[in-house]
Structure 1
Amino acid sequence: MDTQLLTAFVAVAEAGSFTVAAERLHLSQPAVSKRITALESQIGQSLFDRVGRSVGLTDAGRTLLPYAHKTLQDIEDARRALSQLHAQVGGRLSIGTSHHIGLHRLPPVLGQFTREFPQVDLDIHFMDSEVVCQAVLAGQLELGIVTLPTQPLAQLQQRLVWPDPLVVVAAPDHPLAGRRQVSLVQLAGHPAVLPDEATYTHRIVTRALEREGVRPHVRLATNYLETLKMLAGIGLGWSVLPESMLDDTLARLHVPRLRLHRELGLVWHERRTRSGAAQALMRLLPAA
């Protein structure tokens, strides 16, 4: 059975859409439809119910899906194992990282990696850290360079690379800016703009506040720290950002009872073979 057909089948099953699957595979929608038709012809059964724009798995499709996942993952594991037999590091390396880490932490490392290992095709996906971790667990990505989970995830190994202190910030003309100290009660009296509640960073912030009996009034939430920096800088609310992002567009608020930090680092599946390219990148990442 052609792996390209299985890849198309899994993509459509996960996306619930031929159009979205085609975008993810960098193919045209007719090309994806053709692959699904070819697979259905080989199997002799329909894999999807197509009702208007809605796409759902048939009983045959639901039965095939776990086997398709396992087949594709076994092939990927074999590719990674074979890559270790060669002295020259090459092949494809699929990694996931957050936009913030990709912009502020990874460029020097990836620059050095591409100079030292030009035969490697880097397949970089920018997404939320939480999504990266799940993709690594599912075998869709080989490595993740992310905000590390606040609680251990089964079968996910992790390594701290960059400690990342967090600070409370606001616009320079914010009512709390310029004070020697800001109490938690004073802070809670003003609206906040914070990371989205699904993110590890949001959990770190809200748990620290809740331990002190404070519940922030969140005016707006977004996944992108660069956007939060802009929103705080124009006075929409106070925020919590990495200390490394401080500049003259922001004022740091000194909140003695609020000590915040997160950890940025590397994640990988403990039971999956790592390719030579993955091991080379891991060696280049600094150890905290």
Structure 2
Amino acid sequence: MEIRVLRYFVAVAEVKTISGAAKRLHLSQPTLSRQISDLETETGSRLFIRGSREITLTDKGRYLLKRANAIIALVDKTEQNLQTDQTVISGSLDIGAGESRGMQRIMDLVAQLQQDYPAVTVHLHSGDAAAIEAQLADGRLDFGVIMGRRQLKQYGALKLPEVDRWGIIMPKAAPLAQQKFIAPNDLVGLPLMVSEQALQRDLFQDWWRNVANQITITGTYNLIFNATLMVTNGGSYVLGFANLVNTDTESPLTFRPLKPELAEPITVVWSKEQPLSPVAQVFLKRLEANLG
């Protein structure tokens, strides 16, 4: 399976017509059609359903598209880093992270790095810890920023001094907003949205204490911004991290921390199995100096 043909396949999947993809790729339609047909023969799978106006992916085609994008990204990153003049720091830096206040420190370092080395490009990838670990393992990421307590023996790791504190995001007009802190009993009977990853880890099980069976979880979220739209329209309260949502004087929302406090450590990790590129090495040295 050649990278060139995978690029052809991705183009057809995105454009949804052979003619449009051929134009984008500067190929003739018969040539592109033959390449796609040969790819289907090679994989032993039907990848497209050919319609009268456009073609769509089969289930196996969607699987291949996801893998092809990952493979192409890794190849491009590898080629870019190998072709870089090592006397000049350049290349791409890929960082994966969830939503966290600890990212401000990382972004400050990235901004300074790009100011000093304008040829460096930075790619930010959002995702939970499981997705970040998978991308670190296959080399798509240089670094991951992971929130929470996890087994990190297989990684190089630096713990940030910041922590993410859990609390409740609610309308300022809510009666609960009159309190400085939120205790488990305060949430009984309220509609509550919770981080999907935290719920899977049973993170709040001890915190709920004796009212766990009285907590009403009406939904989960991966990105807190989308969840807060439910708060704005009065549909729910959100259990999330501090400092991620606008709660200034103009915002209809406010945040109240949990009591007893519940906080998560923030750790920058990288694979011990994958050698770091020159730009990744510079970033790591700067992060170590910053934390030191």
TM-score when scaled to structure 1?
A: 0.68
> Residues 1-288 of structure 1 correspond to what in structure 2 (within 5 A)?
3-5=3-5, 19=13, 29-30=21-22, 38=35, 45-46=42-43, 48-50=45-47, 52=49, 53-55=56-58, 86-98=86-98, 106-144=106-144, 146-148=145-147, 150-152=149-151, 155-161=154-160, 162-179=162-179, 182-195=182-195, 197=196, 199-200=197-198, 203=201, 205-210=203-208, 213-215=211-213, 216-245=215-244, 246-248=247-249, 249-253=252-256, 255-257=258-260, 259-285=261-287, 286-287=290-291
Residue range with higher mean Cα deviation, 181-190 or 93-102: 93-102
Distance 1:36 1:139 in 2: 32
Contact 2:164 2:241 in 1 (8 A): yes
CA RMSD of aligned residues (A): 4.5
1:262 Cα offset (Å): 1.8
**Partner secondary structure for residue 136 of structure 2:** helix
Identity among equivalent pairs (%):
16
1:172 Cα offset (Å): 2.2
**Partner secondary structure for residue 244 of structure 1:** coil
Contact 2:154 2:272 in 1 (8 A): yes
Distance 2:80 2:148 in 1: 28
Distance 1:201 1:136 in 2: 23
- Return 5+ residue gaps in structure 1 as ranges: none
1:287 Cα offset (Å): 2.7
Q: Which residue of 1 aligns with 2:52?
A: none
Contact 1:147 1:200 in 2 (8 A): no
Contact 2:100 2:147 in 1 (8 A): no
The one-letter code sitting in structure 1 at the alignment partner of 2:291 is A
Contact 2:188 2:211 in 1 (8 A): no
Change (3 A) 1:184 1:117: same
The one-letter code sitting in structure 1 at the alignment partner of 2:212 is V
Aligned residues: 266
Change (3 A) 1:224 1:103: farther
**Partner secondary structure for residue 175 of structure 2:** coil
State the Cα deviation string for residues 3-29 of structure 1 (Å, max 9, x = none). 4445667xx6xxxx9525x79xxxx74
